[in-house]
Amino acid sequence: MDKIGIREAIKKLALLKTEAMYLNDFLLTWDKSRDEIEATFAVAEILKGLRKANISSRAFDSGLAISLFRDNSTRTRFSFASASNLLGLTIQDLDEGKSQIAHGETVRETANMVSFMADVIGIRDDMYIGKGNTYMRQVAQSVQEGYDAGILEQRPTLVNLQCDIDHPTQSMSDAMHIINHFGGVERLKGKKIAMSWAYSPSYGKPLSVPQGIVGLMTRFGMEVVLAHPKGYEIMPEVEEVAQKNAADSGGSFSKTNNMAEAFQDADVVYPKSWAPFAAMEKRTDLYGQGDMDGIKALEKELLTQNAEFKDWECTEELMQSSKDGRALYMHCLPADITGVSCEQGEVQASVFDRYRDPLYKEASYKPYVVAAMILLAKFPNPAEKLMQMLERDRPRVF
Amino acid sequence: MDKIGIREAIKKLALLKTEAMYLNDFLLTWDKSRDEIEATFAVAEILKGLRKANISSRAFDSGLAISLFRDNSTRTRFSFASASNLLGLTIQDLDEGKSQIAHGETVRETANMVSFMADVIGIRDDMYIGKGNTYMRQVAQSVQEGYDAGILEQRPTLVNLQCDIDHPTQSMSDAMHIINHFGGVERLKGKKIAMSWAYSPSYGKPLSVPQGIVGLMTRFGMEVVLAHPKGYEIMPEVEEVAQKNAADSGGSFSKTNNMAEAFQDADVVYPKSWAPFAAMEKRTDLYGQGDMDGIKALEKELLTQNAEFKDWECTEELMQSSKDGRALYMHCLPADITGVSCEQGEVQASVFDRYRDPLYKEASYKPYVVAAMILLAKFPNPAEKLMQMLERDRPRVF
Amino acid sequence: MDKIGIREAIKKLALLKTEAMYLNDFLLTWDKSRDEIEATFAVAEILKGLRKANISSRAFDSGLAISLFRDNSTRTRFSFASASNLLGLTIQDLDEGKSQIAHGETVRETANMVSFMADVIGIRDDMYIGKGNTYMRQVAQSVQEGYDAGILEQRPTLVNLQCDIDHPTQSMSDAMHIINHFGGVERLKGKKIAMSWAYSPSYGKPLSVPQGIVGLMTRFGMEVVLAHPKGYEIMPEVEEVAQKNAADSGGSFSKTNNMAEAFQDADVVYPKSWAPFAAMEKRTDLYGQGDMDGIKALEKELLTQNAEFKDWECTEELMQSSKDGRALYMHCLPADITGVSCEQGEVQASVFDRYRDPLYKEASYKPYVVAAMILLAKFPNPAEKLMQMLERDRPRVF
C-alpha cells in the first residue's frame, strides 16, 4: 500500500461508525459491530502501510502500556510490545510476583494504582474457565470508576490478549490473513473454513482459539465447521454466538465429530488441539478447592482420553481432500508437529513446512491488530488522526 | 490548573531557592530546605497541569532511569516508571539476580558500570535497619566520584524510593494530598495530624512511613502526634528531627501510647502498622549473623506482641472523635482492612470504603513527586525549563 | 571532541568502505575488514562526541531492540540497553522462561515471531563450546530468510554480546581504550600486549575474552603474547586467526607458559582467568549427555588443576617488570581481587586500585561500540546520516 493507497484507505475508514470504540475496551469480537471489526482491519492495514512507507505513527509523546501476563507468551507479548512501541507507548510489565498484590490488594486498587499514567492495559489470563474474562471486566470497571471519580486523568483502554473465552488479537490477525489471501473481506462469503480439533501429547490447551475463530469467522458469511471428537465440546455460549452470527451474515455454522468431513472441500483449515470445556471447568473447580490430587487424576484422565484420538492429525491425505487439494492451512503457533516437536502431533511435518511462510505471515498481522485496537479506543476520530500522521510525514527511521 | 495557572505557578517557582538541588540527590526530606520542599510540590503541580493540558513535559530525547528494587513494590515501581516516562527517560531494571553483582562486584563498580548513560537511579532498600540509606549514599558517592573522574558524562541523580529511615516520595505525595485537601500549604499551620500505629496480622512492616510522616509534617507548623503502643518506638534520630522541625515551624511534635488521644480532634489521621525499631535492629543483626532460628523466634515473639494490640484499629467510633467527626483518613496502601484483606486489621471496612477515592487520589501524586525530584536535580533553572515546555506546547497525545 | 572535531571525524569515516556492514551482523571481529573495524571505532567516537555536545543521535522514532541473555550480565546488558536507547530503540527482553520456547518452538520460528518490528537482536550465549556462535548464526539466517520471504518488513541486525568464540563488544571497547591511551590506532604498532591467564578460585570462565583479544589486537601490528599454564589452551582456530592477523598487520603473535615472560616490557597487560578449552568442550558434551555426575567430577578436577597455578597473579612485582614499570592494566570486569572479592585472585588489590579509573573508562566505551555496530548495520551511508544528526542539532537534554 503506497501513500495514495493509504489515503484511500483512510477515506474509507472515515465512513465506518466507530464512535462507540472511543474510550472503550476490546474484550470479545462479538461485542463489536461489523463496522468496528472492519475499522480494526482498516486501521491495522493503514498502520502497516505507514510503517512500510517509513512514516512514523507515533501518537504518544509519553504514556505507559501495562502488560499483565498470567500465562507464558512469546508472540502475543512481542505483539503487544511492538504495537505499543509503534504508537509511542512504553511497556511496563505488571509482574504479580514482584508486586504487593499478594499483600491483600484488591483488583480495583491495583488497577488504579498502576494506571495514573497508563493509556493501555493488555492482559493475558486464559488458564481458568470463568476467570480470565471476568477479571478483565473487573479491571475495566475499576479504571472506569477511577476515571469517573477524577482519580485517573485518562481512561486506560483494556485489550484482551487472550482469556478463557476469546483470543481477539489472534482471531483478528487470522482474519486479516484470510482476507489478504482471498483478496478482500467480501470474498470470504461462502468460503468453507474447518476449525478442527487435532491431537497433541500435551493437554489443557486453552479453548480461546477455536472459540475465537468460530465466533469471528461466522461474521463474514463463511461456512464455518467446528470439528472435534465427542467430549471436546467448546463453551455452549460461544456456539450460540456463532449460530447467531452465521444467521446474520448469511453463512453457516455446523458441527461434526468427523475430521475428514470438516476438511472435505474446505478453503481454509485450522487444525489445533484444545481441552474439553467440561474438563477445564472441572479443573478450575479443583484449583478453587486446592485439590491437587484431583487435578493430577484429571490430567491423567485427559491425557488418556486425548490418546484415543491420535488419528486427528492434519495429514497430506486430509489436505488433498480440501478444495482443489490446497486449502489454506492455519495455526496460531507453536504447532505440535509430528516427528519435529513431538512424536505424534497436530500436523504432518511436510504440511507444516509447506505452509511455513504463510503461517509466519499470519502471525505478522498481530502487532498491527493490537495497535489498531489501541488507536481506535484512544482517538474519537481515528481517520482524521491517521490522515494527520500521513501528512506529518515524520520518518520512523531517520 | 489551566495554562494561565501554570504560568503563574512557574513564576512563583522561580522565586524559590533551588540551586543546591541541581546535580544532587533526594534521600531524606529533612536534608532539604523549606524552599526545596515547596519547589518540589510546585514542580509536581506544574507537571500535573502540563499533562492535563496535553502538553508534553518530555525533557530527555534519550537517557536511562535505573530502578533497583530490593523489596516488592507496585505503586512506587509504577510511579517511578511513570515519572521517568513522562520526562522521556527509559526504565532499565537492575535485577541483582540477573546481574554479576554476586560475582564479587563492589557497589562502587556496579554503580559506575550501569550509569554510563543513566540520568537517574531510583532505589528501594527498606528491609534492614542501618542498611538501605547507607547503601543509597554509597551509590551516590560512587557516581559522584565517577562523574568527577570523567568516567561518567553525566551525574545520575539518586531518588530514594524507600529506605530504612525515610520514604520521601510517599511522604511528599501525602503532603500534596493534605495541601490540596486544605487548600494551601499555609493552611496546614495548627492542623492536628495523628500518625498512629495500628494492628496488622503481618509483622515487620517498615518504619519509613511513620518516620517520613513525622519528619515531614512537622515542617508546616502542624500539631503532629505520634501514637503507638509501648515498645513500638521509631528511630530516636527521627524523633529528634521532628522535634527540631516543630520548633522551627511553630508547630508541635508529641507522643502518646493512646490511640484515642491521638485521634481526638485530629484533622488528619494516618493509622498504619509498623515494626518496633529495636526489634528491626535485632532482626538485622540476626540476618548479619545468619541466625535463621533466631529470626524465626523473633518473628514469633513479634506476632505475639502485635496480637496484644488488636484494639489499635481505626474504627468508626474513633473517626467520630476526630475534628467534626470527619478527619481526613490517610494510608500509603495497601491497607489491612478488617474483614476484607484480613480477619482483623488496621481499619474498619466502612471507614476505608468511605475514603477510597481520596486514598487513591493521595497515591496519584506520587508519579509527579518523583518527576519533580528528577527535574529539580537535572536542570539548574527548573522554572525556565518548565516555561520553555509550556511555550513549546508539544502535545503529549498527538 | 567538539562540533568541528565531530565534523572532521565524519568526513574521515566517509572515506572508509563500510557497504558490506549494511543489513549485516556483527558476530566476530575477524569477519570484518580493517576498514569496518576502524569505521566502528569512528562511529563510536562520533556518537560519544554528539552526546557530549548534547546532540541527540536518535535515529529511530520507534522500533524494538531484542535482548536475549542466556547468562548473567550487568555491564553488557546495560551497554546494550544504553546503546539502543541512544538510537531511539526500545529494549524488549526475550526471557526464555516466560516464553513458549519450551513448548517446542524452533529457533527459526521464534526468531521470526519476535522480529516483526525488531531492528536489532543482541544475544549473549557463552556457556557452551560450539553452541553460542552457532545459535547466533541460526538466528541471523532465520531472520534473513524471513526478510527475503517478505515476512519481516526490516532485517534485524544481530549483535554478538558474547559467545563461545568471541566477545566483540568487549574487545572493541578494550581496543578503543588502548587507542585513546596511546593516542591513535597507528601508535599501537609495535606495542606489546600480554593477554595472560590468571588464577581465580572460580572455574569455567568463558574463553571469549582472551580469544577476542588475541583475535583483535593482532590486527593493529601489536606484539601480542598469549600466556597461560600448560593445559589452558584456547581454541586452535582462534590461534590461527591471530597468527594470520599478525602476519598481515606486521605485528606478531606468540605464546608462552610463563607469565613473567609475557609481562616483561609489556605496554599493556590483560591478566584474566579462563577455563581450558578442552575441558569446556568436555563439559559441553557432558551437558549434552545429561551426565551431571560427570560434570561435578569435572568441576572438582578443574578446581584442583586451577589451584596449582595460584602464583599466576598480577602482582606489583610483575607490573614493575613491564615497560617503564607502568603498563596499562586491563580487565573486562568484574575482576577477582586478592583479599577483596576472594582470598587469592587474579590481581593484587593495590594494582587494581591504581587502575580503577582507567578500568571504568575502558568499560565506558562499550555502549558506544554497540551503538556503532547497530548504526553501521542499519544505514547504507552512515557518514551522511551522522552529518544529518549533527546538523539537525536536536538536544538530547531539552
Question: Do residues C359 and C375 both lie within one domain?
Answer: no
Q: Which three cell numbers stand for residue B328?
A: 481526613
The answer to which of A261-265, C222-226, C300-304 has the lowest mean pLDDT is C300-304
Q: Decide: A63 and A89 in contact? Cβ < 8 Å.
A: yes
Question: Is position A397 within any domain?
Answer: no
Report the alpha-carbon angle C229-C231-C233, nearest 5.
85
Would you mind telling me the total number of residues written for chain A in this entry? 398
Question: Do residues A155 and A16 both lie within one domain?
Answer: yes
| Contact criterion met (CB < 8 Å) for C100 and A334 | yes
Q: Decide: B136 and B104 in contact? Cβ < 8 Å.
A: no
Which chain B residue shows the shortest CA-CA distance from C394?
A: B61
Contacts 24+ apart (CB under 8 A), C235-239: C235/C165, C235/C207, C235/C211, C235/C277, C237/C165, C238/C165, C238/C166, C238/C211, C238/C214, C239/C214
Query: What mean pLDDT is predicted for residues A157-166?
Result: 98
- Give the orientation angle of helix B366-378 with respect to helix B168-182, to 10 degrees: 110
Query: What mean pLDDT is predicted for residues A7-12?
Result: 98
Compute the nearest-CA separation of A351 from chain C (Å): 16
pLDDT at B105: 66
**Residue segments in chain B with a per-residue pLDDT below the cut of 70:** 98-105
Query: What mean pLDDT is predicted for residues C377-386?
Result: 98
Q: What residues in B contact C367, CB-CB < 8 Å? A: 116-117
Whether the per-residue pLDDT at A108 is higher than 70: the answer is yes
Query: What mean pLDDT is predicted for residues A329-352?
Result: 96
Question: Do residues B257 and B199 both lie within one domain?
Answer: yes
Q: Which of C336, C361, C395 minimises the CB distance to B61?
A: C395
| Contact criterion met (CB < 8 Å) for C81 and B64 | yes
Question: Do residues A135 and A108 both lie within one domain?
Answer: yes
Question: Is position A83 within any domain?
Answer: yes
Question: Do residues B184 and B293 both lie within one domain?
Answer: yes
Model confidence at C1, in pLDDT bands (50, 70, 90)? confident
Question: Is position C332 within any domain?
Answer: yes
pLDDT at C99: 63
DSSP code for A314: B
| Contact criterion met (CB < 8 Å) for A85 and C146 | no
Q: Which three cell numbers stand for residue B370?
A: 518523583
Q: What residues in C contact A82, CB-CB < 8 Å? A: 64, 92, 116-118
Q: Which three cell numbers stand for residue B43?
A: 514542580
For residue C240, what are the contacts with CB-CB under 8 A and spacing of at least 6? none
**Within 13 Å and on the Cβ side, how many CA atoms surround B353?**
8
| Contact criterion met (CB < 8 Å) for B398 and A117 | no
Question: Is position B39 within any domain?
Answer: yes
Fill in the amino acid letter for A42.
A
Rounded Cα–Cα distance for residues A97 and A135 (Å)? 18
pLDDT at C379: 98
Which of the residues C99, C116, C120, C384 would you substitute to probe the A interface, choosing the one with the greatest number of A C-beta atoms within 10 Å?
C116
Which of the residues A23, A87, A94, A109 would you substitute to probe the B interface, choosing the one with the greatest number of B C-beta atoms within 10 Å?
A109
Which among A202, A329, A358, A311 is positioned nearest to C104, based on CA atoms? A202
For residue C186, what are the contacts with CB-CB under 8 A and spacing of at least 6? none
Fill in the amino acid letter for A187.
R
Question: Do residues B265 and B376 both lie within one domain?
Answer: no
Which chain A residue shows the shortest CA-CA distance from C118?
A: A82
Model confidence at C396, in pLDDT bands (50, 70, 90)? very high
Which chain B residue shows the shortest CA-CA distance from A103?
A: B334
Whether the per-residue pLDDT at C86 is higher than 90: the answer is yes
- Cell 504508537 identifies what position? A87
Radius of gyration of chain C (CA): 21
Rounded Cα–Cα distance for residues C90 and B199 (Å)? 45
CB atoms within 10 A of CB B344: 14
- pLDDT tens by residue, C322-343: 999 999 999 999 999 999 989 9
Which chain C residue shows the shortest CA-CA distance from A82?
A: C117
Q: Which three cell numbers stand for residue C198?
A: 590468571
In this prediction the ipTM stands at 0.95
Rounded Cα–Cα distance for residues B335 and B351 (Å)? 12
Question: Do residues A188 and A323 both lie within one domain?
Answer: yes
pLDDT at A105: 66
Which chain A residue shows the shortest CA-CA distance from C152?
A: A364
Rounded Cα–Cα distance for residues A25 and A138 (Å)? 12
Per CB distance under 8 Å, which residues of B are interface residues toward A? Answer: 51-52, 56-58, 69, 72-75, 77-79, 81-82, 85-88, 90-91, 202, 333-334, 336-337, 340-342, 357, 360-361, 363-364, 366-367, 394-398
Fill in the amino acid letter for B181.
H
Rounded Cα–Cα distance for residues C362 and B151 (Å)? 9
Question: Do residues C350 and C307 both lie within one domain?
Answer: yes
**Within 13 Å and on the Cβ side, how many CA atoms surround C77?**
24
Whether the per-residue pLDDT at C197 is higher than 90: the answer is yes
Question: Do residues B282 and B357 both lie within one domain?
Answer: yes
| Contact criterion met (CB < 8 Å) for C99 and A90 | no
Query: What mean pLDDT is predicted for residues A81-96?
Result: 96
Question: Is position C398 within any domain?
Answer: no
Question: Is position B397 within any domain?
Answer: no
Q: What percent of chain C has pLDDT over 70?
A: 98
Q: Which of A90, A113, A114 minimises the CB distance to B85?
A: A90
pLDDT at A98: 67
Question: Do residues A159 and A114 both lie within one domain?
Answer: yes
Compute the nearest-CA separation of C383 from chain A (Å): 13
Q: Decide: C64 and C34 in contact? Cβ < 8 Å.
A: no
Number of domains in chain B: 2
Which of the residues A64, A78, A355 would you substitute to probe the C interface, choosing the one with the greatest number of C C-beta atoms within 10 Å?
A78
Domain of C85? 3-166+366-392
| Contact criterion met (CB < 8 Å) for C396 and B62 | yes
Rounded Cα–Cα distance for residues B209 and B223 (Å)? 18
| Contact criterion met (CB < 8 Å) for A341 and C104 | yes
Rounded Cα–Cα distance for residues A66 and A89 (Å)? 9
Q: Decide: C372 and C17 in contact? Cβ < 8 Å.
A: no
Question: Is position B398 within any domain?
Answer: no
Helices marked H in chain B: 3-13, 34-52, 75-87, 107-113, 132-148, 168-182, 208-217, 236-249, 259-263, 277-289, 292-307, 316-321, 349-354, 356-364, 366-378, 382-392
Q: Which three cell numbers stand for residue C250?
A: 606486521
Rounded Cα–Cα distance for residues B123 and B164 (Å)? 12
- pLDDT tens by residue, A269-302: 999 999 999 889 998 999 889 999 999 999 999 9
CB atoms within 10 A of CB B377: 22
Which chain B residue shows the shortest CA-CA distance from A154?
A: B52
Whichever domain contains B387, its CATH number is 3.40.50.1370
Question: Do residues B202 and B338 both lie within one domain?
Answer: yes
Q: Which of C78, C342, C397 minimises the CB distance to B114?
A: C78
Q: What residues in A contact B358, CB-CB < 8 Å? A: none
Question: Is position C128 within any domain?
Answer: yes
Question: Do residues A188 and A219 both lie within one domain?
Answer: yes
| Contact criterion met (CB < 8 Å) for C151 and A397 | no
Whether the per-residue pLDDT at C84 is higher than 80: the answer is yes
Model confidence at A100, in pLDDT bands (50, 70, 90)? low
Compute the nearest-CA separation of B15 from chain C (Å): 22
- pLDDT tens by residue, C32-75: 999 999 999 999 999 999 999 999 999 999 999 999 999 888 89
CA atoms C43, C363, A85, C65: torsion sign: positive
